[in-house]
Structure formats: structure tokens, C-alpha cells
Structure 1
Amino acid sequence: MRKFQFFLLVECILLALGMMTILANDLSSFILILVLILLALRFYNQDTRNNFLLTVSLLLLFLIFMLNPYIIAAAVLGVVYVVINHFSQVKKKNRYAFIRFREDDFEVRPSRNQWIGAANYESDFYAFDDVNIVRVSGSDTFDLTNVIVTGKDNLIVIRKVLGPTKILVPVDVAVKLDVSTIYGTVTYFDCEPYDLRNESIKLWRQEDRKAIKSVKVVINTVAGDVEVVRQ
């Protein structure tokens, strides 16, 4: 509550300073008084004879408000406060949800997305866990050589704007690759590189259907090369 009261105080100060600077200008004061008079006339007479003049006056008054630095600062502060307050409410809601998950005996492992920069995803001994990543840009390397892969329901989903992606796969794991990009090159094991230009491609081997262990890799990018290699 104190944060909200402080926010209101700052907003009132900025708006007051904005109104003072607007009233200090003769033209701005005239337009403001004209708008108030037209609004009062319309309210008491309930007619539409002054609609055009009222519309033009309101438009000029809006432009005057938007050109005032104090009004702009108040608007920006309001947007920033709403965004910050929204994120804090989301975090509070997520904490309650996390507690409920634990009460219901769910295993929950939330993690933040790294939007920019190079990233390596590897493990020394852990069992494979599905991967779902959203990125803006960066180089990604997924090393599955030391991960215990079992079954065929293993999934890696990568969505990003820009950057190469490399998947290191052990010899006993089959890979079904699904790539969609506007500009990039796909290298699937020892096959010839395939250039994609606003296309999608799915790659897998017929003998992979008999494989005991497999991973499905889905990659959606705007621009970036994709490479799947044995390690």
C-alpha cells in the first residue's frame, strides 16, 4: 500500500507541474478554457452544435499534453508501475502455485530462460529430461553423450530468433529432427548439408524405428544453422 501511495504522490506532483507549465502558456490556457466551456455548454444544453469545435479543441489539448515533459514523465511512470506490479503479482501467484504443487506431491523444477548469449546444456550423470527453451539469440550446444537416455518419448524443443544450434548424440541414440527456419543450413550426421530458405524439413532414418532409445528434436528459428553429430 505504501508503494501505491508513493506512486500516487509522484503522479500528482508530475501532473500538477504539467498543468502549471501548460497554464503558463497563453495559447495552452486559451485552448483549455475553451474546451471546458464547450464541455459545460454541451452538458447543460445537450445539443451537438459544437461537436466539431469540441473535437478540434480536444485534439489540440491532447497534443499540448503529450508535448509537455511532465505529462510524458507521468505517463511513463504509470506504465512502468503497472508492468512492475504485474510481474510482482505473477511471482506471488507462482509461489502459491508452487506450494500447491508440493502439497499435491508434484515434482516442480522451474528455471529461467537465457534469452541472449552462448549456452551449453550438458550433464555428467543425470537421466534425460525434456528440454523446452525460448531464446532471442545465441549459440546453443546440447551434449547428450553423458546423459542417460531411455525410451522413445524424449523431446527437445528450441525456439529462437538467431543463432546456431548443435546437438551431440551418443552412438546408440536415434534422432528425429524437425527444423523450420527462414535462413539456415541443416547438417544431419554424415548427410550432405541442406540449405533452408523459408522452409521446414524433417529428417530421420528408416532403421531408427527399431531403435530402443531415440530423441525428437524440434527447432524453430528465423536464422541459424542446425547440426546433429555423433560424439
Structure 2
Amino acid sequence: MKKFQLFLVVESLFLTMAFLTILASDFAAAVCILVMVLLVLRFYNMGSRSNFLLTAGLLLLFLIFMLNPYVIAAILFAVAYILINHFSQVKQNNRRALIQFEKDELDVRPKRNKWIGSKQHLISDDYCFDDINIIRVTGSDTIDLSQVIVKGKDNVIVIRKVYGPTQILVPLDVTVKLDVSAVYGNVTYFDFPAYDLRNESIKLSQPADQDLLKSVKLIVSVIAGSVEVKRL
């Protein structure tokens, strides 16, 4: 509640300064704003929701057209307040959910996505392979399957990014089913010739490797970037 009170105080200061500067430069515009504010208050007290929203929207639009720095500051502050308040509420809800998960003995492992920068996945051999789901804006991703214990054929790696190369290093006893979709990119699948993608997708697998007991399905969606699968 204190946050909201502080928000109202700051917004009131910005709008008051905006009104005073408009009054000093353009008396007619100040009178127009004052009349619209009174109309907003009247419709609010009368409970006429449609007229209230219409008048409030016209008032905000008029203030934006005035290009007053205090009005712009008030709008930016309001947007920042909404975003910060929203993210704080999301974090609080997530904390409550995690506590409930722990009470119910549910296995949960939240992990933040790294949107930008290079990243190497599966760099420890202390645990078995776990499915990977990555969302990235840009960056280089290297997935080394030699550092984990791969079991079975239901292993999935999903990577969605805007731009950047992706490389997967595969042991000899693991087969890879590759599914790549790109607007502008190229695919290198083991020792086979590279294939250029231009707003298309491609699926690659080796029928001769279907008898292997270990398999990984790699799904990559990228706007622009290269995908390379190579043996160690």
C-alpha cells in the first residue's frame, strides 16, 4: 500500500508541474485540461463508466499531444511502476508455489534463461542427462553429450533463439535425430555436406544408427544461425 501511495504522490507532483507549465505558456490549454479533469471527476462520482473512460482517455491523449516533459515523465514513471509491481507479484507467487511444491514433495528445479552470450551446457559428468529447453535472443550454445550419462531414446533438446550458432558434441554410441527450422542458416550433420536453410526446415537422421541404445532428439528454431552436430 505504501508503494501505491508513493506512486500517487509522485504522479500528482508530475501532473501538477505539467499543469503549471502549460498554464504559464498557454492559458487556453490549461483551462481545457481543467475542464476535462472536472468532467472525469463528475463521471467517476456518477458511476458512468463509459463516459469516464472516454473522458479520461481524451485527457491523457491531449496531455500527450502537449509534449510536456512532466507529462512524459509521469507516463514513464507509471509504466515503470506497473512493470516493477508486476514482476514483484510474480516472484511472490512463485515463492509460494515453490513452498507448496516442497511440501508436496514435488521435484522442481527452476532455472533462469540466459538470453545473451555464449553458454556451454552439460559440463558436469556427475549426473544423468536431463531434457533441455532453451530460449535465447542471441548467443553461442555448445552442448557436450560426452560429459553426461545418456540413457534410452526419449532424450530431447529444444533450442529457440533469434541469432547465434549452436553446436552439439556427440559420443560414438549416441545417435542424433536433428530437426532444424531457420529463416537464414546452415546445418552441418556429422561428416555430411553442409545444407543452407532459407526460410525452411530440415530433419536429419541416420537409419544405420537406429539400432543404438542411446538417442537424442535435437530441435532448433532460429531466425539466423548455424547448427552443427559432430562426433567426438
TM-score normalised per structure 2: 0.86
Distance 2:160 2:195 in 1: 20
Shift of 1:22: 1.6
Question: Given the alignment of the two structures, is residue 198 of structure 1 paired with residue 220 of structure 2, yes or no?
Answer: no
Distance 1:165 1:209 in 2: 24
| Secondary structure, aligned partner of 1:224 | strand
Shift of 1:32: 3.8
Structure possessing the higher radius of gyration over alpha carbons:
1
Contact 1:66 1:72 in 2 (8 A): no
Aligned twin of 1:15: 15
Contact 1:123 1:143 in 2 (8 A): no
Q: Deviations over 1:148-199 (max 9, x none)?
A: 0001110100000000000001110010000000111100001110111111
Aligned twin of 1:210: 211
Shift of 1:117: 0.6
Aligned twin of 1:46: none
Aligned twin of 2:166: 165
| Secondary structure, aligned partner of 2:10 | helix
Contact 2:125 2:149 in 1 (8 A): no
Aligned twin of 1:101: 101
- Structure 2 runs not aligned, ≥5 long: 44-54
| Secondary structure, aligned partner of 1:71 | helix
Distance 1:199 1:123 in 2: 34
Aligned twin of 1:74: 74
215 and 67 in structure 1: CA distance in 2 versus 1, 3 angstrom threshold: same
Letter in 2 for 1:210: D
Aligned twin of 2:140: 139
> Among the aligned pairs, what percent are the same residue?
60
146 and 35 in structure 1: CA distance in 2 versus 1, 3 angstrom threshold: closer
Distance 1:158 1:138 in 2: 11
Letter in 1 for 2:12: C
Shift of 1:211: 1.8
TM-score normalised per structure 1: 0.86
30 and 87 in structure 1: CA distance in 2 versus 1, 3 angstrom threshold: closer
Q: Deviations over 1:41-74 (max 9, x none)?
A: xx9xxxxxxxxxxx9xx58971565411111111
Aligned twin of 2:225: 224
Letter in 2 for 1:93: N
Shift of 1:125: 2.5
Distance 2:17 2:231 in 1: 67
Contact 2:125 2:148 in 1 (8 A): yes
Distance 1:98 1:75 in 2: 35
Letter in 1 for 2:89: Q
Shift of 1:23: 1.8
Q: CA RMSD in A?
A: 2.3
Contact 1:126 1:147 in 2 (8 A): yes
